[in-house]
Amino acid sequence: MRWKTLEYSGWGRSHRARGDLARPERRADLARICAETPAPAIGMRRSYGDAATNDAGRAIDMTRLDRMTGFDPDAGLLEVEAGTRLGEIAAALAPRGWLPAVLPGTGFATVGGAIAQDVHGKNHHHAGSFGQHVESLTLLQGGATVEVAPGTDLFLATLGGLGQTGVIVSARLRLMRVPGAAMEVRETRAAHWSDHLAALERSDAPYCVGWIDATATGATLGRGIVEEARHSAGPVAAQTRARKVALDAPGLALSAPVVRAFNAAYFNRIPPAGRTRLRALPDFFFPLDRLHDWNRLYGKRGFHQFQCVVPPGAAKALREMLEAVAASGLASPLAVLKRMGPGRAGMLSFPMAGWTLAIDFPNGPAARDLIARLEAMALAAEGRIYLAKDALAAPATIRAMYPELGAWAHEAARADPQGYLATDLVRRLQLRAPA
């Protein structure tokens, strides 16, 4: 197996790494690498920060191990390799009446990455996290193949465990039935923060998400658009043609005046009475995938996303965060508010019952300072931040937010005592260091 030295990064492009990558095409090649030169596994690198980088070290690119190896159409059980993209699973099986029960915001995420981060979607309040629909999985620990079943300590440490318990080779997923490959989507305006929260809270739709105009202030603070969606038998709407961002955008592309103007136009595109329309499944679940390499819109310095979740009674903390963001003038058009249920599969899983807020910021000193303030506010509200998005947090912050970190670190040490699988994020946050 050949190793190739490359420079690469997470999706936010604020943290870059240089090291040797291998791209095995067969499981035998993967097993040989894990036995001879163990290294962390990475997928499409859609984590925003440094979760999928190993600067000055080696990493295993799993994207060629992307086969769906078995499907039971009666039970809806799918056997799949870890490098398979979730969007490819949806495209192949939705027309046959099956879909992964949880889909994140990009179809480029791999099964292995979805397990390692225990991702969630627009239906978390109904369906829980991705890991709750994993029937079993296979790991490589060194040269040994380990079958992992739900309920075991190893399973709980692997789901959301950042790839530190072994290289995820394959998984068996429990899919859900759907009537077709279309989505019926209802879009309504939310005039302000309280209106936005109330709309999300009273929704009984299987999928519900709010886009927030993070530049709005005063009486319109928290205004936005609420999307509620259900699966539909169709007819399938035409899928939007994907485009590509060919160059890094200049700094002025996301300046405060430009973002304010864009957000106002985006809000006003929805009629005051709302609208209902049929959308292609990828256009609803993966809207940003229609613009390939959209991360280049933030320029060469990249960007950060802050995402936190706070308990149900701490919505006031999110409002205060939004006030700080609006006052800063740093927000981008990408800001999302969702209601979450209690579902989580692992010791380091991000979800908890309550509210989650996610906002992107162009990378720079002012944004880093603001994110530090937002993290402190999330901690004070007894919330936590999402490790799939983080590139800036301090070790003490994460230890305070994740009470099962010690138990997870114990399992990770048992699985990988030499620390071969540590990534830049694991080292930065000292996740495997003694408490």
Q: Going residue by residue through the chain (435 aa), what tens digit of pLDDT does each one get?
A: 689 999 999 999 999 999 999 999 999 999 999 999 999 999 999 999 999 999 999 999 999 999 999 999 999 999 999 999 999 999 999 999 999 999 999 999 999 999 999 999 999 999 999 999 999 999 999 989 999 999 999 999 999 999 999 999 999 999 999 999 999 999 999 999 999 999 999 999 999 999 999 999 999 999 999 999 999 998 877 788 899 999 999 977 899 999 999 999 999 999 999 999 999 999 999 999 999 999 999 999 999 999 999 999 999 999 999 999 999 999 899 999 999 999 999 999 999 999 999 999 999 999 999 999 999 999 999 999 999 999 999 999 999 999 999 999 999 999 999 999 999 999 999 999 864
Cis-peptide, bond into residue 235, ω within 30° of zero = yes
Q: Which CATH class is domain 182-395?
A: alpha beta
How many angstroms separate the CA atoms of 354 and 310, rounded? 6
How many angstroms separate the CA atoms of 171 and 79, rounded? 6
Residues ≥6 apart with Cβ < 8 Å to 28: none
Q: Which segments of 35-76 are extended strands (E)?
A: 41-42, 58-61, 68-72
**What's the confidence (pLDDT) of residue 87?**
98
How many separate helices (H) and strands (E) can be counted in the chain?
13, 21
How many angstroms separate the CA atoms of 178 and 29, rounded? 37
Residue showing tokens 């890991």: 131
**What's the confidence (pLDDT) of residue 253?**
85
The separation between CA 244 and the C-alpha centre of its own chain, rounded to angstroms, equals 21
Largest CA distance in the chain: 62
**What's the confidence (pLDDT) of residue 1?**
65
Strand partners, 103: none
What are the residue ranges of helices labelled H in 19-110? Answer: 27-36, 86-93
Residue showing tokens 């989650």: 356
Long-range contacts of 247-254 (CB under 8 A, 24+ apart): 247/296, 248/296, 248/299, 248/300, 249/296, 249/297, 249/298, 249/299, 250/299, 251/299, 251/362, 253/297, 253/299, 254/297, 254/298, 254/332, 254/333, 254/362
Evaluate the CA torsion angle 285, 288, 292, 296 in order and state its sign: negative
Question: Does residue 14 contact residue 49 with C-beta atoms inside 8 Å?
Answer: yes
**What's the confidence (pLDDT) of residue 434?**
65
Distances, alpha carbon 22 to alpha carbons 2, 15, 18, 116, 134, in Å: 6, 20, 13, 19, 27
